[in-house]
Structure 1
Amino acid sequence: MLATTQRFIERLAFLTVLLGGLGLLISMFLGMGDVVGSLFDNPLPGALEVTESTMVLIVFGGLAYAQIRQRHLRVELAYLKAGPKMRSVMDIIASLSGVTFFCLMVWQGFNEALFSYTISEATSGLVRFPLYPARFALVLGASLLVVQLVFDLVRDIVNFGVDKDFELG
């Protein structure tokens, strides 16, 4: 059951990375079109608003996948000098801190997303772009990260003190 859930979370995290990549492509082309259009006194309306919303998907879409691949930043100097038990303690503290922080973010993000949806919040520009999809994308990305951090926390507790083959890069 746990392995099946882990695979599902990994697939969902990969999907959010793909959506973030698509958002990055859209932002890139809109930005390029806006710059070129500005050269001819005809900027793309709504380019800024769409780019702002896709940035949330780009950032929060990749958090869980980066955690799955263990690609988040850490202070390697201190981590590599520590023994296996101290590394386990560091990993557990990092996971607990991440779970706490991102649970709070999910909680408040969901409240904001729901409120944004309820009042039909939109950008104030030439093109009114709804803000609630980006807010729900934040909640989805942060929720996936919380689930992955819980999996990592359980793994770190079960494997406490076991020396991991740690590689840089």
Structure 2
Amino acid sequence: MLRAINRAISLLSQLCFILSAAALFVIAAYGAADVAVAVAGGGGLPVTREASSVLLAAAVFLSFGYSQYRRQDIRVDVLIELCPSRVQRLSLLLSLILGIFVFAVLTWQSWELFLRSWRVGETAVALVRFPIYPAKLALALGSLAATLELTRQLVIFFCGRAAEPTGAGESSDATAGTRAGLKDI
């Protein structure tokens, strides 16, 4: 059962990452098309700036869970590596707990924001109106993925590697021991 939950969390993080990459692709393609139209004398495409800013916010939040899954979050490695193992473990524990708290609050509030936006059919104030609530859904999903991934890592912190599915974060296992002071996370 625990392996199935781990796998579901990993898949959610990966799905959000794929959606993030797709949003970045759309930004790049729409931006390139905007430049091509402007160079051809058409003045550019409507709502390029507005759509890009909404998609960029979605892309950033959707990537949080996957970056935590791969353990590619921002740390001060130089300082942590100089600390004793106990301090490294305590630092990891505190960062996991604080991260869970912050992302849980963000998840809770972003779901409320998404539902409110969806109910009223919120649209961007632009030349061409487009719905905003999909980007707010992306914020909520990305925050949820990060919260669940941090929670999964906290369980692994206390229970050991047995709780982790095969292949999860394998590309960063070599650095996990030195970065976190453990080989389990």
**1:11 maps to what in 2?**
11
Cα distance, 1:157 vs. partner? 2.9
Is 2:167 the partner of 1:166? no
1:25 deviates by 0.8
TM-score for both structures, normalised by structure 2: 0.82
How far apart, CA to CA, are the structure 2 residues paired with 1:47 and 1:165?
Answer: 44
Deviations 1:18-53 (A, max 9, x none): 111111111001111112222314311132232122
What is the number of residues matched between the two proteins? Answer: 164
Instruction: Report 1:63-142 matches (<5 A).
Output: 63-142=64-143
Q: Identify which range, 91-100 or 150-159, moves more after superposition.
A: 150-159
1:156 positional shift: 1.8
Write the letter of the residue equivalent to 2:177.
Answer: D
Gaps of 5+ in 2: 161-175, 181-185
Quote the Cα distance in structure 1 between the aligned partners of 2:159 and 2:86: 12
> Could you report, residue by residue, the CA deviation over 1:112-155 in whole angstroms, capped at 9, with x for unpaired residues?
11111111111011111101110011001101110111111122
- Partner residue, 1:59: 60
Q: Is residue 34–residue 43 contact of structure 1 (8 Å, CA) maintained in 2? A: yes
Tell me which stretches of 4 or more aligned residues in structure 1 moved more than 4 Å: none
Tell me which residue corresponds to 1:35.
Answer: 35
Distance 1:158 1:78 in 2: 26
Identical aligned pairs, as a percentage?
26
Distance 2:108 2:58 in 1: 18
Q: Is the 8 A contact 2:80 2:179 kept in 1?
A: no
Letter in 1 for 2:59: I
Determine the C-alpha separation between the residues in 2 that align with 1:9 and 1:121: 30
Q: Displacement of 1:54 after TM fit?
A: 1.5
- Is 1:49–1:129's contact at 8 Å kept on the other side of the alignment? no
Which AA in structure 1 matches 2:15?
A: L
CA distance in 1, matches of 2:3, 2:87: 27
Q: Identify the residue that residue 171 of structure 2 maps to in structure 1.
A: none
Q: Which residue of 2 aligns with 1:152?
A: 153
Give the residue type in structure 2 aligned to 1:78.
L
Structure 1 stretches lacking a partner, 5+ long = none
Residue 72 of structure 2 aligns to a residue in which SS?
coil
One-letter code aligned to 1:104: V
Counterpart-to-counterpart distance in 1, 2:83 and 2:129: 53
Deviation, structure 1 residue 167: 6.1
